[in-house]
Amino acid sequence: MNRSIVGLVVIVIVLTGFKRSGVDRIMLRMESQSLQEGKATTIRADLFYEALDGKLTTIFKDPLNHIMVSNQHGELTVYNPGENTVFRRQSLEYSSENNLMFYFLHNKIQDLGLREMGFTLTRTSFDDNLMVTRWIPPASLARLFSHIELVHDDYMPIYAGYYNAQQQLIKKVFYSDYEVFPQIILPLTITEFNYLPDGDSIINRVRFSDVRINRRAESEWFDFEIPDDATIID
């Protein structure tokens, strides 16, 4: 259970950039589908974010019945209302800024944050209306990646390919179904292919819907607080 929820932190939408893009609060629905070895898993949740304090509340509806609260500082709390228990962790990997979607919302779509990670642009080419860029990692990441390839269509990223130190493609990410809102432009579908060393692969697809921003985002979940009498578990 904890593994599934914590893993979703990596693919769940990152919202801390909204403060700079004119979004004070947002609520939306998410459906995450994962496929591995012929087994499919679907998780549905509602998300509620406020830019003022960077609080992101995720209400898991199916199949889990848990409430996850996280922020940009890497503080993660998972509450089980049925058992009145709470699971807490703190790590930079849980930060709401540790996700590629953060860069969409932070208007850093040209490099998806690669420059901040120390990557260097080494090549740019064009294929019809597509711009293809190649990024080389810093020495500290050379053991993980040989390079990363980004593809933009009309200035919006549509693909990212990750290559390991042996020049093998290990992950592909596709951004699609862009929708224009008054304050931001978002891809409502993110599809990720992770290739494992044994030849297997994991496919993740996240879809967002019913996006409501600022005045249209009204819900009691924005004020949710975990009960003081909840039992802490490891």
pLDDT tens sequence across 203-218: 999 999 999 988 899 9
| Structural domain boundaries enclosing 91 | 2-225
**Residue 206 falls inside a structural domain:** yes
What CATH number does the domain containing 137 carry? Answer: 2.50.20
Is there a domain that residue 83 lies in? Answer: yes
* Residue 232 within a domain: no
- For the cut 60, the answer to whether the pLDDT of residue 180 exceeds it is yes
Distance between CA atoms of residues 128 and 130, nearest Å: 6
Tokens of 126: 């064009």
Cα angle 60-207-214, degrees, rounded to a multiple of 5: 75
In a domain, 109, yes or no: yes
Provide the whole-model pTM: 0.81
Mean pLDDT of the chain, nearest integer: 84
Contact 9, 72 (CB under 8 A): no
12 versus 208: which is more confidently predicted? 208
Look at residue 53 in the predicted model and tell me its pLDDT.
76
Quote the pLDDT of residue 1: 46
Model pLDDT, residue 104 = 67
More confident residue, 24 or 200: 200
pLDDT at 97: 55
In-domain check, residue 231: no
What mean pLDDT comes out for the span 34-39?
Answer: 89
48 within a domain of the structure (yes/no): yes
pLDDT at 100 over 70: no
In this structure, of 61-70, 130-139, 170-179, the range with the lowest mean pLDDT score is: 61-70
- Answer whether residue 230 is part of any domain: no
Residue 234 resides in a domain: no
pLDDT band, very low/low/confident/very high, at 118 (cuts 50, 70, 90) = very high
With 90 as the cut, is the pLDDT of residue 31 above it?
yes
Report the number of distinct structural domains present in the chain: 1
Q: What is the pLDDT of residue 133?
A: 97
Residue 11 has pLDDT above 70, yes or no: no
Q: What is the distance between the alpha carbons of residues 155 and 110, in angstroms, rounded to a whole number? A: 7
Q: CB of 70 within 8 A of CB of 94? A: yes
pLDDT for the residue 25? 86
Over residues 99-122, the mean pLDDT reads: 78
Place of tokens 């009691």: 220
